[in-house]
């Protein structure tokens, strides 16, 4: 069995029949089972179904057929609907919800031959930056289990970091792919808004949510994204632009690529050691022939407050559907309909979800709409304008993914603002709908740091190219936590 | 700006949430913090910036042909319902 296999390596070995999908899946399942008590990365493990899919993949491969990911094990963040498999969104509200259909992302990866091993733990309804809001208990960081893995896609990042799986789906509303990828030392890409279908992806904030991938390398992200992305008539915000071959041109030279260093991302909140790792990464890009310049995006510092108006507003609307009537948790012995709604929702949602629903309700309520919601939408326009001006001058923007490396469980749960500020460098890309990545760029006190790369709309290939060239020059993405080696 | 207990209870009612009286002070405190934090936006000079609801400028919402694309799946969907009878969702009596 291969030691730390990437998607790229596994897909090739499976096709060459050096390994079978069944033996690979059995090995992964054994690692997953063994890791659960320490990491809690999975909410549901679908062993029987996975072995059936693996057998089918082996038959296809034996016949010289099979899609580009035939037999490759993956996991899905537990907010992608999976037909016949429970889809909890990390919430008591959906503890027993069995999705009646597959999300488009799930269906496409299935069609590409990928084998699903289970559903990955996450912050409740993707609201959180530490995975501590999950009803199924926090995920722990494989690098040090008393630390958070980041969130909300903490299960996806921890599973890839611990080499339980070569790749996992994830979603990013304000940093939920990039921040956990940075905290766990893995590579994650949030594509452009509209690039990956949101059909069957349980909604949090519909103008910000976007599905993507967490894997070990940029090349693997390209390989998986290629099978996920593209127009979907079932998602009205899906964009009908052809998906390029993300694997093509990954090795092309970087000479002449213009990289903007975001001044606002090197503020006083950034840890000094983290800053050194990011600046060392810049030096690698310079050696590769890229040209760096410093840029200022003056409206960026308002990203977090703007986001904490827009996202809760959309959340309060989206989560109004959980009424205890058609699906989801229902309280026992309701007195009347109002009592049914109120108690079902209060029992089904955890404290952070309730806080966001109430924040959203407040900013949308009569007398406050203009002052908060409309104002935040105007600020959002200004932030987007900053990026448009920047991308007239540079091809990519770079900076840190997070202000610090992973923090201790419980360290930031007392004050919501402290927790929200964790996403200070990631949120602006969501507000503007831009593609963004996090790539491992070194260690601070033995814990992984992430380099963030942001590009203009639909420039995923450009991001993946830069990240891939960086990963050919560095080996940070190959480091594995000691306990998982 | 500090939200009062009555305000927090009012917001909870609008959101159809019932807060345990013991947890109200917690929400009072954290929501007040959040309202202060987002109140910072007030200082932004947004003159001339049109509100932006969608991140892809110029994207027009598509319409589709008026064709039947789904089959009746109510039996499957109702497997997730807390209470169903004769294909209907059951709720407490609304009209006496």
Query: What pLDDT digit, counting tens, does each position of A3-20 carry?
Result: 578 999 999 999 999 999
Say if the Cβ atoms of A308 and B34 lie within 8 Å. Answer: yes
> Residue A124 has which token pair?
């409740």
For residue B60, the tally of other CB atoms under 10 A from its CB is 6
Distance set, CA A280 to CA A60, A144, A237 (Å): 45, 24, 38
Confidence band (pLDDT; 50, 70, 90) for A48? very high
Give the closest-approach CA distance of A421 to chain B in angstroms: 11
- Quick one: pLDDT at residue A3? 57
Question: Rounded to an integer, what distance in angstroms lies between the CA atom of residue A390 and that of residue A388?
Answer: 5
What CATH topology corresponds to A7-255? Amidase signature (AS) enzymes (3.90.1300)
Average pLDDT over residues A442-463: 98
Catalytic status, residue A110? no
Average pLDDT over residues A136-165: 98
Say if the Cβ atoms of A305 and B12 lie within 8 Å. Answer: no
Catalytic status, residue A156? no
Query: What pLDDT digit, counting tens, does each position of B16-34 carry?
Result: 999 999 999 999 999 999 9
Measured between CB atoms, which of B46, B92, B94 is closest to A379? Answer: B46
Q: Are A77 and A120 in contact (CB under 8 A)?
A: yes
Closest residue, chain B, to A305 (C-alpha): B38
Q: Is A330 a residue whose pLDDT tops 60?
A: yes
Which strands sit side by side in the sheet containing A396-400, from one edge to the other? A42-45, A115-120, A73-77, A167-172, A210-215, A187-190, A436-444, A447-454, A396-400, A258-262, A291-295
Query: What pLDDT digit, counting tens, does each position of B32-74 carry?
Result: 999 999 999 999 999 999 999 888 877 777 888 899 988 999 9
Which residues in chain A (332-391) have CB-CB distances under 8 A to chain B?
334-343, 345-346, 349, 351, 354-355, 357-363, 365, 371-372, 374-382, 384-385
- Quick one: pLDDT at residue A396? 98
Confidence band (pLDDT; 50, 70, 90) for A483? confident
- Quick one: pLDDT at residue A177? 98
Overall pTM surpassing 0.95 (yes/no): yes
Closest residue, chain B, to A458 (C-alpha): B56
Residue among A239, A286, A232, A234 nearest A259 (CA): A286
Q: What is the CA radius of gyration of chain A?
A: 21
Which residues in chain A (300-329) have CB-CB distances under 8 A to chain B?
302, 304-306, 308-309, 316, 320, 323-329
Query: What pLDDT digit, counting tens, does each position of A218-257 carry?
Result: 999 999 999 999 999 999 999 999 999 999 999 999 999 9
Question: Which residues of chain A have a CB within 8 Å of the CB of B59?
Answer: 194, 237, 239
Chain A interface test: which of B2, B7, B43, B44 (most A C-beta within 10 Å)? B44
Say if the Cβ atoms of A339 and B92 lie within 8 Å. Answer: yes
Which of A129, A152, A344, A428 is the catalytic position? A152
- Quick one: pLDDT at residue A1? 37
Which of A21, A156, A176, A303 is the catalytic position? A176
- Quick one: pLDDT at residue B13? 97
Q: Are A154 and A395 in contact (CB under 8 A)?
A: no
A to B CB pairs, distance under 8 Å? 176
Say if the Cβ atoms of B33 and A416 lie within 8 Å. Answer: yes
Say if the Cβ atoms of A371 and B42 lie within 8 Å. Answer: yes
Phi, psi of B93 (to 5 degrees): -55, 130
Question: Which residues of chain A have a CB within 8 Å of the CB of B76?
Answer: 100
Average pLDDT over residues A440-444: 98
Total residues found in chain A within this entry: 485
**Least confident piece of the model among A2-11, A27-36, A420-429:** A2-11
- Quick one: pLDDT at residue B59? 72
Question: Rounded to an integer, what distance in angstroms lies between the CA atom of residue A338 and that of residue A305?
Answer: 33
Say if the Cβ atoms of B49 and A379 lie within 8 Å. Answer: yes
User: What is the CA angle A61-A65-A70, rounded to 5?
Assistant: 55
Residue B78 per-residue DSSP state: G
Question: Which residues of chain B have a CB within 8 Å of the CB of A379?
Answer: 41, 44, 46, 49
Say if the Cβ atoms of A239 and B59 lie within 8 Å. Answer: yes
Whole-number percent of chain A with pLDDT over 90: 96
Question: Rounded to an integer, what distance in angstroms lies between the CA atom of residue A63 and that of residue A72?
Answer: 17
Query: What pLDDT digit, counting tens, does each position of A347-401 carry?
Result: 999 999 999 999 999 999 989 999 999 999 999 999 999 999 999 999 999 999 9
Catalytic status, residue A77? yes
Question: Which residues of chain B have a CB within 8 Å of the CB of A365?
Answer: 11, 14
Q: ipTM of the assembly?
A: 0.96
Which residues in chain A (58-117) have CB-CB distances under 8 A to chain B?
96-98, 100
DSSP code per residue over A171-225: EESSSTTHHHHHHHT-EEEE--TTTS--TTB--S-TTT-EEEEEESSHHHHHHHH
Say if the Cβ atoms of A362 and B56 lie within 8 Å. Answer: no
Q: Is A54 a residue whose pLDDT tops 80?
A: yes
Average pLDDT over residues A73-101: 98
């Amino acid at each position: 069995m291969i030691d730390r296999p990437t998607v790229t390596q596994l897909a090739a070995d499976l096709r060459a029949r050096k390994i079978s999908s069944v033996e690979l899946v059995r090995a992964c399942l054994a690692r997953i089972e063994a890791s659960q008590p320490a990491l809690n990365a999975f909410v549901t493990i679908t062993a029987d179904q996975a072995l059936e899919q693996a057998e089918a993949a082996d038959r296809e491969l034996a016949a010289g057929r099979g899609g580009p990911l035939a037999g490759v094990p993956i996991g899905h963040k537990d907010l992608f609907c999976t037909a016949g498999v429970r889809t909890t969104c990390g919430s008591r509200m959906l503890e027993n919800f069995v999705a009646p259909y597959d999300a488009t992302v799930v269906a496409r990866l299935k069609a590409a031959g990928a084998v699903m091993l289970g559903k990955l733990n996450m912050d409740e309804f993707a609201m959180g930056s530490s995975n501590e809001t999950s009803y199924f208990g926090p995920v722990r960081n494989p690098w040090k289990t008393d630390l958070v893995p980041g969130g909300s896609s903490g299960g996806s990042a921890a599973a890839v970091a611990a080499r339980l799986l070569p790749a996992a789906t994830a979603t990013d509303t304000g940093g939920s792919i990039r921040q956990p990828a940075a905290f766990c030392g893995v590579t994650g890409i949030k594509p452009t808004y509209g690039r990956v279908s949101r059909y069957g992806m349980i909604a949090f904030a519909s103008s910000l949510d976007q599905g993507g991938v967490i894997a070990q390398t940029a090349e693997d992200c390209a390989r998986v994204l290629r099978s996920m992305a593209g127009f979907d008539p079932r998602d009205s915000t899906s964009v009908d632009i052809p998906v390029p071959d993300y694997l093509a041109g990954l090795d092309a030279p970087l000479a002449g690529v213009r990289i903007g260093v975001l001044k606002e991302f090197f503020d006083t909140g950034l840890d000094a050691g983290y800053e050194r790792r990011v600046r060392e990464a810049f030096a690698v890009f310079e050696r590769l022939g890229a040209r760096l310049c410093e840029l200022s995006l003056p409206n960026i510092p308002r990203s977090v407050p703007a986001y904490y108006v827009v996202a809760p507003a959309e959340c309060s609307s989206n989560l109004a559907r959980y009424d205890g009537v058609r699906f989801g948790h229902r309280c026992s012995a309701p007195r009347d309909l109002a009592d049914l709604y109120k108690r079902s929702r209060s029992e089904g949602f955890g404290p952070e979800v309730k806080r966001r629903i109430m924040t959203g309700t407040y900013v949308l309520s009569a007398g406050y709409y203009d002052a908060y919601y409309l104002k935040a939408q105007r600020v959002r326009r200004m932030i987007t304008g900053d990026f448009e001006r920047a991308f007239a001058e540079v091809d990519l923007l770079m900076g840190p993914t997070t202000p610090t490396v992973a923090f201790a469980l419980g360290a930031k749960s007392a004050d919501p603002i402290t927790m929200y500020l964790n996403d200070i460098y990631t949120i602006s890309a969501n507000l503007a709908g831009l593609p963004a990545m996090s790539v491992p760029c070194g260690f601070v006190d033995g814990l992984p740091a992430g380099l963030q790369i942001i590009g203009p709309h639909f420039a995923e290939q450009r991001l993946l190219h830069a990240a891939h060239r960086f990963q050919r020059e560095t080996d940070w993405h190959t480091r594995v936590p000691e306990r998982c080696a | 700006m500090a939200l009062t207990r009555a305000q927090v209870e009012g917001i909870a009612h609008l959101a159809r949430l019932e807060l345990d009286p013991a947890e109200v002070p917690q929400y009072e405190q954290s929501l007040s913090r959040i309202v202060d934090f987002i109140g910072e936006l007030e200082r932004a000079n947004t003159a001339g910036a049109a509100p932006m609801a969608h991140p892809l400028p110029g994207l027009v919402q598509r319409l589709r042909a008026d064709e039947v694309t789904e089959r009746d799946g109510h039996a499957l969907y109702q497997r997730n319902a807390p209470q169903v009878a004769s294909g209907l969702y059951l709720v407490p009596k609304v009209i006496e």
